A and B are shown apart, each in its own frame.
Chain A
Amino acid sequence: MAEARPDGVSVVGDGGDGDSRAFEAFYRQWEGAVYRTALALLRDQMTAEEVVVDTFLRAHGAWHRLDPGRSPLPWLQRVTVNLALNRLRRRRLGLEPIPEQEPWPDEAGIAPESAAEQRELTAALARGIERLPVQMRAVVILRFVQDSSLASIAEVLDCPLGTVKSRLHNALRLLRDDLRQEFEPSLGADVAPRLSGGSEEPAS
Chain B
Amino acid sequence: MISWRALTGRAQLQAGGCARHRAVLLDLLDGRTQGRDVDEALEHLGRCDACQREMSEYALVIAGLRRLGAAARRSEPDATGWARVAARLQEAPRRPRWHLRQAPVAGLVALPAVLAVLVAGLLAGGGGEARVAVPAGPAGTDAVSLAAPQVAVPGPQHNAALQRAFRIADTAAEQDPPVACEGAAVVQDEADGEAGLLVAVPPRGPLPDGLAVFMATGTPDRFGGSRMTVAPAIVPE
Contacts and interface: CB of A to CB of B under 8 A. Distances in A.
B60 A121 contact: yes
Nearest to A183: B4
Nearest to A110: B67
Contacts of B186: 95
Contact of B5 (A60, A89, A184): A184
A87 to B, nearest CB: 9
A24 interface: yes
A187 B7 CA distance: 14
A110 B173 CA distance: 42
Contact of A172 (B58, B68, B84): B58
Contacts of A117: 2
A71 to B, nearest CB: 18
B192 A122 contact: no
Interface in A84-126: 86, 89-90, 93-96, 104-110, 117-118, 120-122, 125-126
Interface residues on A, range: 35 or more
A160 interface: yes
B69 to A, nearest CB: 4
Contacts of A106: 71
Contact of A105 (B23, B75, B88): B75
A40 B72 contact: yes
Given A58-B219, A79-B219, A49 B77 contact: yes
Contact of B61 (A15, A83, A179): A179
B81 A49 contact: yes
Interface residues of B, number: 67
Contacts of A110: 67
Most buried by B among A94, A106, A129, A198: A198
Interface in A8-55: 15, 20, 24, 27-28, 31-32, 35-36, 39-40, 45, 49, 52-54
A135 B15 CA distance: 26
B15 A86 contact: no
Contacts of B174: 135, 159, 200-201
A131 interface: no
Contact of A24 (B13, B86, B197): B86
A148 B26 CA distance: 16
Given A24-B82, A27-B81, A36-B75, A144 B65 contact: yes
Q: Is the interface of A mostly helix, strand, loop or mixed?
A: helix
Contact of B221 (A35, A61, A134): A61
A95 B64 CA distance: 32
Contact of A93 (B2, B66, B95, B167): B167
B171 to A, nearest CB: 5
Interface in B83-100: 84-86, 88-89, 92, 94-95, 97
B168 interface: yes
A180 B221 CA distance: 42
A145 B60 contact: no
A165 B22 CA distance: 12
B4 A184 contact: yes
Contacts of A4: none
B40 interface: no
B132 to A, nearest CB: 18
Interface string A154-180: 000001100101001100100110011
Max chain A CB contacts within 10 Å: which of B71, B194, B195, B220? Answer: B71
Contacts of B85: 27, 52-53, 56-57, 60
A107 B4 contact: no
Nearest to A195: B170
Nearest to A27: B82
B15 A107 contact: no
A183 B94 contact: no
Contact of A200 (B1, B61, B86, B171): B171
Contacts of B5: 184
Given A78-B219, A190-B13, 14 more contacts: A49-B81, A49-B84, A52-B77, A89-B168, A107-B71, A120-B2, A122-B67, A172-B62, A176-B61, A179-B61, A198-B166, A198-B169, A198-B170, A199-B173
